[in-house]
Amino acid sequence: MTTHDLRSLISEKMNLRLSDWAERHPRLAQAIDSTRLVESTVDLLREDPEFIQAMRDADLDEAKLALAANILSHADQLIRDSLPL
């Protein structure tokens, strides 16, 4: 996941929560810089060992799915070649 994608995702989720929170704490909400809050959260996630491992696992899973799709494509081609219509 790129930093831009992560920033967008965090920003989207943060804005949903922040708007609800701001209704209950309007004065505090005025003092919060949401852009800085998003950047800070992204920085924390980028340094979090559990997040890093989850992203590595997701990359491995994606690679496995791509390999499986490739194998299925080759198998499909072999079947078509073996059993022409």
> Which SS3 state, helix, strand or coil, does residue 25 take?
coil
For residue 47, what pLDDT is reported?
92
- Global model pTM greater than 0.85: no
pLDDT at 43: 92
57 is written with which tokens? 């696992």
The reported pLDDT for the residue numbered 81 is 85
15-74 confidence digits (pLDDT tens): 888 888 889 999 988 888 888 888 999 999 989 999 999 989 998 888 898 998 999 898
**Crossing angle for the helix pair 49-82 and 34-47, to the nearest 10 degrees:** 70
